[in-house]
Protein backbone atom coordinates (compact mmCIF):
# COMPACT_ATOMS: atom_id res chain seq x y z
CA UNK A 1 0.00 0.00 0.00
CA UNK A 2 1.14 3.49 -0.82
CA UNK A 3 1.42 6.16 1.81
CA UNK A 4 -0.91 9.14 1.46
CA UNK A 5 1.87 11.48 0.39
CA UNK A 6 3.84 9.04 -1.78
CA UNK A 7 3.77 9.31 -5.54
CA UNK A 8 4.34 6.75 -8.27
CA UNK A 9 4.72 6.58 -12.03
CA UNK A 10 2.16 4.75 -14.15
CA UNK A 11 2.93 2.36 -16.98
CA UNK A 12 2.29 5.09 -19.54
CA UNK A 13 4.71 7.41 -17.78
CA UNK A 14 2.39 9.78 -15.90
CA UNK A 15 3.23 10.71 -12.33
CA UNK A 16 0.46 10.16 -9.81
CA UNK A 17 0.91 12.25 -6.69
CA UNK A 18 -0.30 12.08 -3.11
CA UNK A 19 -3.89 12.00 -1.91
CA UNK A 20 -5.92 15.11 -2.79
CA UNK A 21 -9.33 14.08 -1.60
CA UNK A 22 -10.12 11.49 0.98
CA UNK A 23 -13.57 10.22 1.87
CA UNK A 24 -13.70 8.64 5.30
CA UNK A 25 -16.61 6.42 6.37
CA UNK A 26 -19.20 8.43 4.49
CA UNK A 27 -22.83 7.59 5.23
CA UNK A 28 -25.64 9.44 3.51
CA UNK A 29 -29.31 8.88 4.28
CA UNK A 30 -32.48 10.27 2.77
CA UNK A 31 -35.02 9.66 5.50
CA UNK A 32 -35.06 5.90 5.84
CA UNK A 33 -33.21 5.24 2.62
CA UNK A 34 -29.50 4.74 2.97
CA UNK A 35 -27.90 5.94 -0.25
CA UNK A 36 -24.30 5.52 0.86
CA UNK A 37 -23.19 3.11 3.58
CA UNK A 38 -19.87 3.72 5.33
CA UNK A 39 -17.72 4.23 2.25
CA UNK A 40 -14.07 5.24 2.30
CA UNK A 41 -11.79 5.88 -0.63
CA UNK A 42 -9.27 8.43 -1.80
CA UNK A 43 -8.37 10.33 -4.94
CA UNK A 44 -4.74 10.96 -5.79
CA UNK A 45 -3.31 13.96 -7.54
CA UNK A 46 -3.19 13.60 -11.31
CA UNK A 47 -5.09 10.36 -11.53
CA UNK A 48 -8.31 9.44 -13.27
CA UNK A 49 -10.50 7.84 -10.66
CA UNK A 50 -13.71 6.13 -11.68
CA UNK A 51 -16.75 5.30 -9.61
CA UNK A 52 -18.84 2.57 -11.16
CA UNK A 53 -21.76 0.43 -10.18
CA UNK A 54 -25.22 -0.66 -11.31
CA UNK A 55 -28.15 1.76 -11.37
CA UNK A 56 -29.07 3.11 -7.96
CA UNK A 57 -25.76 2.12 -6.43
CA UNK A 58 -25.23 5.62 -5.03
CA UNK A 59 -22.59 6.85 -7.47
CA UNK A 60 -24.17 10.21 -8.20
CA UNK A 61 -24.90 10.68 -4.50
CA UNK A 62 -21.21 10.15 -3.85
CA UNK A 63 -20.28 12.79 -6.41
CA UNK A 64 -22.82 15.15 -4.87
CA UNK A 65 -21.22 14.64 -1.48
CA UNK A 66 -17.82 15.57 -2.90
CA UNK A 67 -19.20 18.68 -4.61
CA UNK A 68 -21.21 19.79 -1.59
CA UNK A 69 -24.69 19.33 -3.03
CA UNK A 70 -25.37 16.71 -0.33
CA UNK A 71 -24.07 16.77 3.21
CA UNK A 72 -23.44 13.28 4.60
CA UNK A 73 -24.81 12.40 8.05
CA UNK A 74 -21.65 10.57 9.03
CA UNK A 75 -18.05 10.56 7.95
CA UNK A 76 -15.43 13.05 6.96
CA UNK A 77 -14.32 14.64 3.72
CA UNK A 78 -10.64 15.53 3.71
CA UNK A 79 -9.37 17.90 1.05
CA UNK A 80 -5.59 18.25 0.88
CA UNK A 81 -5.40 16.43 4.20
CA UNK A 82 -7.65 18.90 6.01
CA UNK A 83 -11.10 18.08 7.26
CA UNK A 84 -13.69 19.98 5.28
CA UNK A 85 -16.56 21.50 7.28
CA UNK A 86 -20.06 21.18 5.75
CA UNK A 87 -20.06 23.58 2.82
CA UNK A 88 -22.42 25.05 0.31
CA UNK A 89 -21.88 23.93 -3.29
CA UNK A 90 -20.64 27.37 -4.35
CA UNK A 91 -18.08 27.37 -1.54
CA UNK A 92 -16.84 23.97 -2.67
CA UNK A 93 -16.58 25.30 -6.22
CA UNK A 94 -14.49 28.21 -4.97
CA UNK A 95 -12.09 25.73 -3.37
CA UNK A 96 -11.23 24.45 -6.82
CA UNK A 97 -13.64 21.56 -7.33
CA UNK A 98 -15.47 21.81 -10.64
CA UNK A 99 -18.11 19.43 -11.92
CA UNK A 100 -20.41 18.48 -14.75
CA UNK A 101 -23.90 17.06 -14.39
CA UNK A 102 -25.55 13.84 -15.52
CA UNK A 103 -28.32 15.73 -17.29
CA UNK A 104 -26.34 18.80 -18.35
CA UNK A 105 -26.73 22.06 -16.47
CA UNK A 106 -25.71 24.84 -18.83
CA UNK A 107 -26.87 28.44 -19.16
CA UNK A 108 -29.08 27.77 -22.18
CA UNK A 109 -29.70 31.40 -23.07
CA UNK A 110 -26.01 32.33 -23.20
CA UNK A 111 -23.50 31.70 -25.96
CA UNK A 112 -20.91 28.97 -25.64
CA UNK A 113 -18.24 31.59 -24.97
CA UNK A 114 -20.26 33.23 -22.18
CA UNK A 115 -20.98 29.85 -20.65
CA UNK A 116 -17.31 28.99 -20.51
CA UNK A 117 -16.51 32.49 -19.19
CA UNK A 118 -18.75 31.89 -16.17
CA UNK A 119 -16.20 29.27 -15.17
CA UNK A 120 -13.77 32.16 -14.65
CA UNK A 121 -16.02 34.18 -12.34
CA UNK A 122 -13.95 33.42 -9.28
CA UNK A 123 -10.81 34.67 -10.96
CA UNK A 124 -12.25 38.15 -11.47
CA UNK A 125 -11.26 40.44 -8.69
CA UNK A 126 -11.52 44.01 -9.94
CA UNK A 127 -14.27 46.27 -8.66
CA UNK A 128 -17.77 46.67 -9.92
CA UNK A 129 -17.27 50.14 -11.31
CA UNK A 130 -14.06 49.55 -13.19
CA UNK A 131 -15.64 46.43 -14.72
CA UNK A 132 -18.73 48.36 -15.78
CA UNK A 133 -16.64 51.15 -17.22
CA UNK A 134 -14.27 48.64 -18.78
CA UNK A 135 -11.22 50.52 -17.62
CA UNK A 136 -7.74 49.89 -16.33
CA UNK A 137 -7.20 46.63 -14.52
CA UNK A 138 -10.63 45.29 -15.39
CA UNK A 139 -9.79 45.28 -19.09
CA UNK A 140 -6.50 43.49 -18.55
CA UNK A 141 -8.24 40.99 -16.32
CA UNK A 142 -10.96 40.27 -18.86
CA UNK A 143 -8.36 39.79 -21.59
CA UNK A 144 -6.37 37.45 -19.40
CA UNK A 145 -9.43 35.34 -18.58
CA UNK A 146 -10.52 35.36 -22.21
CA UNK A 147 -7.14 33.90 -23.20
CA UNK A 148 -7.53 31.00 -20.80
CA UNK A 149 -11.05 30.39 -22.06
CA UNK A 150 -10.08 30.54 -25.73
CA UNK A 151 -7.33 28.03 -25.08
CA UNK A 152 -9.81 25.61 -23.55
CA UNK A 153 -12.27 26.18 -26.38
CA UNK A 154 -9.54 25.37 -28.89
CA UNK A 155 -8.51 22.37 -26.88
CA UNK A 156 -12.00 20.88 -26.86
CA UNK A 157 -12.50 21.74 -30.54
CA UNK A 158 -15.58 23.88 -30.12
CA UNK A 159 -14.25 27.07 -31.80
CA UNK A 160 -16.87 26.83 -34.56
CA UNK A 161 -19.74 27.21 -32.09
CA UNK A 162 -18.22 29.90 -29.85
CA UNK A 163 -21.00 32.40 -30.47
CA UNK A 164 -23.89 29.94 -30.74
CA UNK A 165 -26.51 29.99 -27.98
CA UNK A 166 -26.16 26.74 -26.10
CA UNK A 167 -29.84 25.88 -26.50
CA UNK A 168 -29.24 25.34 -30.22
CA UNK A 169 -26.54 22.71 -29.78
CA UNK A 170 -26.94 18.96 -30.06
CA UNK A 171 -26.52 16.85 -26.95
CA UNK A 172 -22.97 15.69 -27.58
CA UNK A 173 -21.66 19.22 -28.03
CA UNK A 174 -23.49 20.45 -24.93
CA UNK A 175 -21.64 17.84 -22.91
CA UNK A 176 -18.40 19.18 -24.33
CA UNK A 177 -19.33 22.78 -23.49
CA UNK A 178 -20.09 21.73 -19.95
CA UNK A 179 -16.68 20.13 -19.73
CA UNK A 180 -15.13 23.34 -21.07
CA UNK A 181 -16.88 25.43 -18.42
CA UNK A 182 -15.65 23.14 -15.67
CA UNK A 183 -12.12 23.27 -17.07
CA UNK A 184 -12.19 27.06 -17.28
CA UNK A 185 -12.13 27.15 -13.48
CA UNK A 186 -8.72 25.40 -13.67
CA UNK A 187 -9.96 22.96 -11.04
CA UNK A 188 -7.76 21.04 -8.64
CA UNK A 189 -10.34 18.28 -8.89
CA UNK A 190 -12.71 17.73 -11.77
CA UNK A 191 -15.87 15.71 -11.21
CA UNK A 192 -17.61 14.22 -14.24
CA UNK A 193 -21.06 12.72 -13.76
CA UNK A 194 -21.60 10.25 -16.60
CA UNK A 195 -19.72 12.25 -19.22
CA UNK A 196 -20.64 9.72 -21.89
CA UNK A 197 -24.26 8.98 -21.08
CA UNK A 198 -26.50 8.97 -24.13
CA UNK A 199 -23.68 9.31 -26.65
CA UNK A 200 -23.04 7.26 -29.75
CA UNK A 201 -19.80 5.33 -30.20
CA UNK A 202 -18.07 8.12 -32.08
CA UNK A 203 -19.00 10.76 -29.51
CA UNK A 204 -17.89 8.45 -26.73
CA UNK A 205 -14.50 8.01 -28.38
CA UNK A 206 -14.16 11.78 -28.73
CA UNK A 207 -15.09 12.35 -25.10
CA UNK A 208 -12.67 9.65 -23.90
CA UNK A 209 -9.90 11.27 -25.89
CA UNK A 210 -10.70 14.69 -24.38
CA UNK A 211 -10.72 13.33 -20.85
CA UNK A 212 -7.36 11.65 -21.36
CA UNK A 213 -5.91 14.76 -23.02
CA UNK A 214 -7.14 17.03 -20.26
CA UNK A 215 -5.56 14.80 -17.67
CA UNK A 216 -2.36 14.57 -19.67
CA UNK A 217 -2.03 18.20 -20.78
CA UNK A 218 -3.21 20.07 -17.67
CA UNK A 219 -2.46 17.34 -15.13
CA UNK A 220 -6.04 17.67 -13.89
CA UNK A 221 -7.18 15.21 -11.26
CA UNK A 222 -10.42 13.66 -12.46
CA UNK A 223 -13.10 11.64 -10.70
CA UNK A 224 -15.78 10.28 -12.98
CA UNK A 225 -18.90 8.19 -12.89
CA UNK A 226 -19.65 6.02 -15.87
CA UNK A 227 -21.91 3.15 -16.86
CA UNK A 228 -19.96 1.93 -19.85
CA UNK A 229 -17.55 -0.63 -18.38
CA UNK A 230 -15.32 -0.76 -21.44
CA UNK A 231 -14.77 2.98 -21.38
CA UNK A 232 -14.08 3.06 -17.65
CA UNK A 233 -11.53 0.28 -17.78
CA UNK A 234 -9.65 1.99 -20.61
CA UNK A 235 -9.67 5.44 -19.06
CA UNK A 236 -9.09 5.13 -15.38
CA UNK A 237 -6.11 4.47 -13.17
CA UNK A 238 -8.17 3.21 -10.26
CA UNK A 239 -11.81 2.23 -9.90
CA UNK A 240 -14.23 2.22 -6.96
CA UNK A 241 -17.15 -0.16 -7.41
CA UNK A 242 -20.39 0.50 -5.54
CA UNK A 243 -23.50 -1.59 -5.18
CA UNK A 244 -26.57 -0.78 -3.07
CA UNK A 245 -24.68 2.06 -1.38
CA UNK A 246 -21.77 -0.12 -0.34
CA UNK A 247 -18.25 -0.31 -1.66
CA UNK A 248 -17.62 -3.75 -3.09
CA UNK A 249 -14.33 -3.17 -4.85
CA UNK A 250 -11.47 -0.71 -5.14
CA UNK A 251 -8.33 -0.98 -7.21
CA UNK A 252 -6.83 -0.92 -10.69
CA UNK A 253 -9.13 -1.88 -13.57
CA UNK A 254 -7.56 -5.33 -13.72
CA UNK A 255 -8.01 -5.98 -10.02
CA UNK A 256 -11.60 -4.86 -10.18
CA UNK A 257 -12.35 -6.91 -13.26
CA UNK A 258 -11.29 -10.08 -11.47
CA UNK A 259 -13.07 -9.27 -8.19
CA UNK A 260 -15.76 -11.87 -7.56
CA UNK A 261 -18.10 -9.41 -5.76
CA UNK A 262 -17.94 -7.06 -8.71
CA UNK A 263 -18.67 -9.83 -11.19
CA UNK A 264 -21.62 -10.92 -9.06
CA UNK A 265 -23.00 -7.41 -8.83
CA UNK A 266 -22.82 -6.88 -12.56
CA UNK A 267 -23.75 -10.33 -13.84
CA UNK A 268 -25.87 -11.56 -10.97
CA UNK A 269 -25.21 -14.63 -8.85
CA UNK A 270 -26.51 -18.00 -9.85
CA UNK A 271 -28.33 -19.82 -7.09
CA UNK A 272 -27.56 -23.45 -7.65
Partner 1 sequence: MPEQLVFAMEVTLNGLMAGVLYALVALGFVLIYKASGIFNYAQGVLALFAAMTLVGIMQGQVPFSHLINAVFGGHVTHFGWNVPGVVAIALTVAVMVLLAWLVQVLVMKHLVGQEPIILFMATIGLAYFLEGVADLMWGSEIKTLDVGLPQGINLWIDETTFNIFGYGFFIDNLDIVATVIAALLVAGLVAFSQYTKQGRAMRAVADDHQAALSVGISLNFIWVLVWSVAGFVALVAGIVWGTKSGVQFSLSLIALKALPVLMLGGFTSIPGAIVGGLIIGVGEKLFEFAVGPLVGGATENWFAYVLALLFLVFRPQGLFGEKIIERV
Q: Indicate the residue among 43 and 190 with the shorter CB distance to partner 1.
A: 190
Helix, strand or coil, per DSSP, at residue 257? helix
CB of 181 to partner 1, least distance (A): 7
For partner 1, the closer of residues 158 and 185 by Cβ is 185
Nearer to partner 1, 192 or 231 (CB): 192
Task: Identify which of residues 110 and 263 has a Cβ nearer to partner 1 in the complex.
Answer: 110
Sign of the Cα torsion 130, 132, 136, 141 reads: positive
Closest contact distance (angstroms) between CB of 185 and partner 1 is 6
How many whole angstroms from its chain centre is CA 47? 12
Question: Which of 117/256 has CB closer to partner 1?
Answer: 117
Phi, psi of 49 (to 5 degrees): -110, 125
- The CB-of-111 to partner 1 minimum distance in angstroms stands at 11
Residues 19 and 81 sit within 8 Å (Cβ to Cβ): yes
Report how far residue 176's alpha carbon sits from residue 179's, in angstroms, rounded to the nearest whole number: 5
Least distance between partner 1 and beta carbon 7 (Å): 29
Per-residue HEC secondary structure of 174-191 comes to HHHHHHHHHHHCCCCEEE
Neighbour order of strands in the sheet with 189-193: 97-99, 189-193, 221-225, 48-52, 238-243, 246-251
How crowded is residue 192: how many other Cβ atoms within 10 Å of its Cβ? 26
**Least spacing, CB of residue 168 vs partner 1, in Å:** 6
Question: In the bound complex, what is the minimum distance in angstroms from residue 164's beta carbon to partner 1?
Answer: 10
Q: Which is nearer to partner 1, 112 or 265 (CB)?
A: 112
Q: Which residues bind partner 1 (CB under 8 A)?
A: 67, 69, 88-91, 93-94, 98-101, 105-110, 114, 117-119, 121-122, 124, 128, 131-134, 138, 165, 167-168, 170, 181-182, 185
Q: Residues for the chain: how many in total?
A: 272
Amino acid sequence: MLDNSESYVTEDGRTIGGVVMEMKNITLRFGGVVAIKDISFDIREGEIRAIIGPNGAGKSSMLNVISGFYVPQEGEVLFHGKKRPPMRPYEVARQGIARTFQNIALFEGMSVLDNVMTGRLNYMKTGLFSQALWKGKAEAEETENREVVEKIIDFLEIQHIRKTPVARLPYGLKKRVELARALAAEPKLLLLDEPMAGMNVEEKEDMSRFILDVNDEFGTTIALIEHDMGVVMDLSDRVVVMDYGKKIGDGTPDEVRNNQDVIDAYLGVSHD
